[in-house]
Structure 1
Amino acid sequence: MTKLRIGIVGCGSITKYRHAPEYAHNDAVEIVAFCDPNVERATLMAEEYGGKVYADYLEMFHNEELDAVSVCTPNLYHAPISIAAARAGFHVLCEKPMAASEADALRMIAAAKDSGVILMVGHNQRLMPAHQKAKEVLLVGDLGKVLTFRTAFGHPGPESWSADGKESWFFQKDIAIVGAMGDLGVHKADLIRWLLDDEVVEISAFVETLHKEDTEVDDNAICIMRMGKGSIGTLTASWTYYKGEDNSTLLYCENGVIKIGTDPVDQVIVERTDGTIDKYDVGAMSTNTGQTHSGVIDSFIYSILTNTPPAITGEDGMKSLKVILAALESAASKTLVSIH
């Protein structure tokens, strides 16, 4: 079988720990090129996984006969690189948040559609086993409607994760655009949309820089959200959980509660109002310090090979992005913001 030819743009930590090793683990693909303005960083990836090295993604797109591209750059560059890749006829897997604005997201979606290629956004939370199991439990239906929820994602910050440490682009507002909300909050916005099969329609938020120094991006956010079907809940994103990571979600339903990521052994716990309790050990959540197979790459490749819509479409990525942008608007205006 002819292998899919993959190019990766951006050779920071997300490529080092997720994209490159997961592509290498997939027998259907071959990584043929790495691109990064920091050529030394791209060279290290190529030495480990093979492939040519580029400093300019347009040169890579022109020279290489690629089937698909991973876009793993700072947020500001997601849209232009994804659009260029789509126009070159390559399928695109773009990291989250997919763009810096709704307008850019729409251009990305249009470029992929016009070229007949797949655009997938790397929201890995909905692919994690614990979240998959929680969705399965919800679909059974015996818990009834989700009435309220809380979802949180926090860790000590990107200093220990990013390839550039404290000098990371994550703290540079001109290219990061948004901080903890773009790094972690957008994941949980996507997760709650998917779990509840619903859209966020109203949001009120505090989005603050409470503790990180020498940066204008947010390090903490707390949001109150209303869903289209009536559920209300909170979303928290933080870069100041210095004691350790929290990636937990609680869904309070008519007939019980689903606890996700609250127990180190049983990642999903279902407590019903009739007194019964079900516990599921389905595998640890991936963390910055404890990487697990995300499923994103395999899902992307499956979509290409089967010519089926990706697990997380460009439209999905845009809807989750709009929640984050609305939270920023709410915090700036100190008002409740509607999302259309």
Structure 2
Amino acid sequence: MTAKKLRVGVVGLGIGRGQVECFQLDERVTLAAIGENALKLRRDGMATDAFVATTGAKLYRDAVEMINSGDIDAVSLAVTPKHRLVLLEAAARKGLPVLMEKPMAANLDDAIAMARIVKKSGIFFMMEYPMRYMPPMVKLRELIDTGVVGPVLSLNAELQTGWNPPEGHWAWDPANGNGLLNEAIIHLYDSANFVCGKPVEVYAVGRHYFGTTQLEDSAVLTIRYENGSVAVLNGGGLGTNAMAAEPMSMHVFGRNGEAIVTGRDWQYKAINFATRTDKAPSSQSWETPPRFQLMRYNLREFVSCILEKRATACGLEAALQAQCVVEAMKESIRTGQVAKVRSVAEFIS
């Protein structure tokens, strides 16, 4: 007997267009509905209704109507942060599993408000942090957990992208993206949390190098973790398009060995690693998806969690931890002092 497919709806065809392409590749999914009120698509100016017609999905101009329609079993909220609360509330009322594009919110207070909606409703919730699901990062986590690299002692990572949003872009709106570091480089902070654990302190130096906004477009962070590990992260928009954030890297030094994950253009593609007794490092590499389908792996995990009725490691705790790091980073930059990272248990215990 053929298994029933999961009917998924996607709200937003900015980054959500890549999600649509990924869901169409998943044999367990029926792309049932798309919510988008823009008449043309951002990537290439294609008419929205013409694009949606190629997918076989039903187009809704009102995303709340789509969520309430009964046409979908799960929803991805791929709109910008300031538009998510009303959609999350609607999904919670319907009991629909939710995938939310990063960052969770413009600020920690907004993130906490949404987390409490999720907690109260009991719906399945997963945050869109694709880097932790890329094969080299999965391998890195395996090397740590199996003792090949062992417990992390220190970590150095870099993500200086060539994409620095122009003046007036929603990413610079304090009530929406709240700056490049919150809107995009939060990928780096989540990846460090994924490898190191629970962050407790941040010391950061950052500033805005281009344009007139007062929000930082680059920062270097030192993060201390509860288990004693330390991460040094260099992230922002100081790179060039020609280099495409290459090398994008994460170098881990563990109790038993070391490993370095490398890539470019927002995707990790290779890992080198060695134990303390190895004579030469081992290497492994993978083909990467097209640029706008970099979320392919985590979307498959989203579907798997729903179909298998299991929890995700990238749920509320991960979402809030990354927001707490951003809040502490901004405080440290402002004060010049070490800032405590608030505990997620304060909000969703």
Return the TM-score normalized by structure 2: 0.85
Deviations 1:249-307 (A, max 9, x none): 0112234321111799981111344352332323145684x755631111111111111
- 2:326 alignment partner in structure 1: 324
Distance in 1 separating the partners of 2:179 and 2:77: 18
Matches within 5 A, 1:282-321: 282-284=285-287, 288=291, 291-292=293-294, 294-321=296-323
Q: Does 1:20 align with 2:20?
A: yes
Deviations 1:104-152 (A, max 9, x none): 3333333234333210001111101101111111122144442221112
Q: Structure 1 residues 50, 158: CA separation in 2 closer, same or farther (over 3 Å shift)?
A: farther
2:110 to 99, 104, 107: 104
- 1:7 alignment partner in structure 2: 9
The answer as to whether partners of 2:33 and 2:71 remain within 8 angstroms in 1 is: no
Distance in 1 separating the partners of 2:181 and 2:107: 16
- 2:58 alignment partner in structure 1: 52
Q: Does 1:201 align with 2:207?
A: no
Between 276-285 and 223-232, the greater mean CA deviation after superposition: 276-285
Matches within 5 A, 1:71-220: 71-157=77-163, 168-184=169-185, 186-196=186-196, 198-211=197-210, 213-220=211-218
Q: Does 1:231 align with 2:237?
A: no
Q: Does 1:241 align with 2:239?
A: yes
Deviations 1:67-111 (A, max 9, x none): 111111112223332232222221100011112233333333332
Q: Does 1:258 align with 2:259?
A: yes
Residue identity in the other structure for 1:16: R
Deviations 1:226-251 (A, max 9, x none): 11111222112121211321421011
Distance in 1 separating the partners of 2:231 and 2:290: 24
Deviations 1:19-71 (A, max 9, x none): 10111111222222222231333424412212222332222223343211111
Cα root mean square deviation, aligned: 2.6
Residue identity in the other structure for 1:333: T
- 2:271 alignment partner in structure 1: 268
The answer as to whether partners of 1:326 and 1:339 remain within 8 angstroms in 2 is: yes
Note the residue ranges of structure 1 that are not aligned, 5 or more in a row. Answer: 160-164
The answer as to whether partners of 2:107 and 2:178 remain within 8 angstroms in 1 is: no
The answer as to whether partners of 1:256 and 1:270 remain within 8 angstroms in 2 is: yes
- 1:162 alignment partner in structure 2: none
Q: Does 1:281 align with 2:287?
A: no
Q: How many residues align?
A: 329
The answer as to whether partners of 1:181 and 1:237 remain within 8 angstroms in 2 is: no
Note the residue ranges of structure 2 that are not aligned, 5 or more in a row. Answer: 42-47, 343-349
Residue identity in the other structure for 2:255: E
Distance in 2 separating the partners of 1:27 and 1:285: 20
Distance in 2 separating the partners of 1:40 and 1:310: 34
Distance in 2 separating the partners of 1:37 and 1:276: 58
The answer as to whether partners of 1:94 and 1:120 remain within 8 angstroms in 2 is: yes
Instruction: Give how far 1:220 is off.
Output: 0.9
Distance in 2 separating the partners of 1:96 and 1:38: 21
Q: Name the % identity.
A: 23
Residue identity in the other structure for 2:309: N
- 1:222 alignment partner in structure 2: 220
Deviations 1:136-186 (A, max 9, x none): 111221444422211122210155xxxxx87642243432113134312x2
Distance in 1 separating the partners of 2:49 and 2:62: 13
